[in-house]
A = this chain, B = another copy of it.
Amino acid sequence: MNDSQDFGDFLHSMGGAALGAWLRRLSDRVDREAGRVYDEAGVEFEQRWFGLLNQLALHGASSVGQIASALGVSHVAVSQVRATVEKAGLVISEADPNDRRSRTLRLTPRGQQLYLEMAPLWEKLALSAVELDREAGGVVHALARLERALDRRSLADRVNRKGSR
């Protein structure tokens, strides 16, 4: 009946500190199931590659740092993925002539071809995600709001301001 009361109960029994663990559990689950989709479709593709490839396909050649900030991950994560997709022949990288610290990545022909081949599958994945989101009553928006709330004030900050009593 009283939803926010229920929720408080939930958080107290689960432990407020368990929010992170819960998010991780769900993320693992979604990633794992996406991986299964690729396996069942018989394609050699890792979910981890998606963000980088998608970024290059949508926005053309980009640097490691650009991709990292677009995806919201560390440059290290991008760098690691770059190494594997480059080894797989999907991407090439070369030093930016204007700034030789920076490395410019772009899809190879083979990468472009793979992207096109994968497109229908990703489309179905996106449709499924929309469907899930609808059934879940707008998780995606809720997550975006959570992210903004954390931007406004960090968890640590919120805890500290609860007083030291």
Contact = CB atoms under 8 A, between A and B. Distances in A.
Contacts of A72: 22, 25
B30 A127 contact: no
A143 B131 CA distance: 14
B142 A137 contact: yes
A158 B145 contact: no
Interface residues of A, number: 76
Interface in A21-35: 21-31, 33-34
Contacts of A25: 72-73
Contacts of A150: 29-30, 33, 132
Interface in A1-58: 3-4, 7-8, 10-13, 15-31, 33-34, 36-37, 40, 47, 50-51, 54, 58
B27 A124 contact: no
A116 interface: no
Given A21-B71, A140-B19, A155-B33, A135 B145 contact: yes
A82 to B, nearest CB: 16
Interface string A89-131: 0000000000000000000000000000000111011111111
A127 B16 contact: yes
